[in-house]
Structure 1
Amino acid sequence: LSCTFPIFFLQLFLEKYGYFSEPGAGTHSPAEFTEALRDFQRVTHLPPSGVLDAPTLHQMALPRCGTDDGDSRAAGAGRGSPARRRRRTAQHGRSCPVAGGRWPKRHLTYRVVNWPPYLPQHEVRLAVRAAFELWSNVSSLLFWEAGDGPADIRLTFFHGDHNDGLNNAFDGPGGALAHAFFPRRGEAHFDSAERWSLHSGKGRNLFIVVAHEVGHTLGLQHSPVKSALMSPYYKKLSKDFVLSWDDILAVQNLYGKPSKGSAIQLPGKVFTHFQDWNTDLYSRDRQQRSLSNYYCHSFFDAITADGDHNLYIFKGSHYWVVSASGNASDPRPLQPRWPGLPAGVDACAWSQLTGKFYFFKGGRCWRYAGSKLEAGFPRKCSALGLPRHPDTALYFQQLRRLVLFKGAKYFVVGEEPLGVEPYYPRSLRDWAGLPPGTAGALTHRDASVYFFRDEQYWKFDQAKLRVVATGKWATQLAWMGCWDANSEQVLF
């Protein structure tokens, strides 16, 4: 049995995802099994041994899209080309792509037929809208939500077998999360048994899965490029997520570039949470006003304050300056101010000791004197003993040192030379009442240290060495510059 089960599982899996030229139980020779397995291993960047080893079994068990892998095993060559798409056959209950697997028009409607009952309807609609805009922002396509009635593309949640053929029956949590049909049968189906979420760190992120399945409804097949959204396996949504070059080339090959302006990498690069969106954020009469203090309507990447008590709030490739009086600037691009700084920083701190800005992203650290990147930077965090992907950075006046927070630990860091002080890291319990995973911190002119995470803030008393207050920063801290946070009906 231990030998038979993997072979049976292997055949079902490879048939479901299109690795055999002809489906059918008992019709595959050992050579066909080996070649199909090699194809799968190539697509998933495993050594193409043709052997069902532990890493291959592990890969097969990971959550993924239920649409078959089609021509992705052909190293992605011509993935968006009509000639290649016409060779796809109608397998496993799927319709054959018509007109080369593309829609004959550029304006498409969509409808969200149903949604998980534990997710608010307006938040689901915003996430779906963002998923469609991810594609319209880099192509000539335009999408419009149809409230009811017919629509070109329909998104529906189902349990188990839902009349798409047995190979397309949903399998409960894990495994196949969703599947979709190619043009012109514009349908995407999602497994109701999954725990769907609109957050970046909990459950299956609905935005990222919808965006992937929408790609299929537009005619895109799976990509062999590991970083691509159209890669078959589920990936978590990070703060700096963008479509890969492969995704963009594939959709532009089918529908062309945007008719006006250049391709833009929004909203995928900006929005990792949807429960904080204003339902009118994109309405034309308020869009410009929303941009001026957009960070108030969404979560930011990092925050710090300088010696004049100006706040610097970072999100994606932009930052805002909020004066001591609470007046926010328009969003400004990072590059002119800090040349060479990447978008989506993990943490930032301004040092009161040296007057320099420190930025952290991934495994690297940047240090700027004014707008000049100092010699030798960026530097590797590991070479300095610093944590990768720190949650928060802070200049702590009592220690005259930088402090980096990562999970349940914190690191005290000297500046000259830059490195972790002895006996660190220590437990976050030293900062009584402070939760792990904060997104930023600053020392306010009232001498308290304020920590931020999502919509919350924590006020830390430096004398008592504990948190003394907490609340919603956009509506309760006037100096954050969110004057219209209440009138805008922010979804906090």
Structure 2
Amino acid sequence: MSPAEFWIVLLGCLSMCHAAPTVAPTFSPQEENLATDYLSQFYGDVGMTNSTLRSLSNNSFSQDLQAMQAFFGLEVTGVLNNETVEVMKAPRCGVSDISRYGHFPGKPKWEKRLITYRITQYTSDLTQSQVDTTIAQAFKLYSDVIPLDFKQIYSGTADIMILFKGGYHGDFYPFDGRGGVLAHANSPGRNQGGDTHFDDDETWTLTQRGVNLLLVAAHEFGHALGLDHSRDRRALMFPTYQYVNTNGYRLPDDDRRGVQALYGSRTPVPKPPKPEPRPDPEPEPEPEDPTEDPNTNPTDEQCSRDLVFDAATSIKGDLYFFKSGYYWRKSTSFAGIRLIKVNTKWSQINYVDAAFEVPYKNVAYLFQGQQYWGIRARAKTVMPGFPKSITSLGLPSSLSKLDAAVHVTSTGKTLFFAKHKYWSYDERSNRMDFGYPRFISQDFPGIGSKVDAAFENYGYLYFSDGPRQSEYYLPYRRVMRVLLNYGWLNCY
């Protein structure tokens, strides 16, 4: 297999277009060369050089020009004109526009369900946490609609290797500096298949300014999954970079149909059948002062729409949901949901009121009443020196317990919730921020006035108030979706 056949390099979307200057009726030699080079790169045969194309007949040039004009919705004349030259001068993606059904020839795709990725070099324009979160969001656009899962790893060789670097960066396609090619990726396959590179000479942002990383990454990952360009101007895979509001962004219909044609649709896990109803027991007199047993096994509540979490957190990529002295563990390393009693895992802890993880410290913290324990995230064992009083964190001694806690990776702050207020704790300086507590409803509009459980997942914060849960995007300070707690436990 020749290098040209193996490397289906997908040169990423280019920066926003500026109005092209008025083109004179008579085209200069430079403009004629532009047209020839443009057609050779985007509408010519694979492996054919520019010099070969320049020797082709006018009829062949005209046919390629007609294909280009048809693709962009221009008047199909087969003759070079001002409007066509303006489109050729506009910034665009570097992959050919000739394809079938929006897929690459042979329809290459991944033949496994879990795709790993690793970011080996980061841009200095954003924090490492922001890059990790945004890359995960870009992959999630696809995992929401197809039965593939994506997992970031931090060492070794991943299926998709990702880096930010300008100029020459180890392949045959060096970047051309700011304002040119933004990124490129390989189609699915072994070795370098799916690898994605971003030009670090660009200014990467999470907004409309500069180059929006989410949109470019999602476009490139479409190529890395096997998608070619779309003729639909509303599609993510349209050849030219188009900024759209990324607030609540979902994969456009054209892209969704294209990737589902390769991998199928993600179907929900069927709800387990309900057990046969038991006969009603003989009625017994109720006790005068009924009390709820806090250690009642909550198995039957797992798929209840009224499920209320006591606490929730992530620990090394797995999600832990605490309820009545037990916890459900949702892991990427095994199928299904496991229910475990808290004190069989951590003998000193009977129930959990609040929990959070600080990933860069490799530590999670579990709270019970006015005490808390540090847990080694990797080994899941209690650290020496615990339990400690919550007052050691700067919380008031009058506080009998926390309702929830969550560490926000992008800010380095941990938020503690109790009743209608919350505190902000700086993990790096190990002290409470000035000016707290503050009212929850004032600083987190839309989530309600109290929080029963909170955790972070793929850059979003999830706040539970009773059985209702708000998916919250902190940079925009707004609720993206309203969910129910039980949806995390493979209940549909």
TM-score, L = length of structure 1: 0.49
TM-score, L = length of structure 2: 0.49
The answer to which structure, 1 or 2, has the higher relative contact order (CA under 8 A, 6+ apart) is: 2
Larger radius of gyration: 2
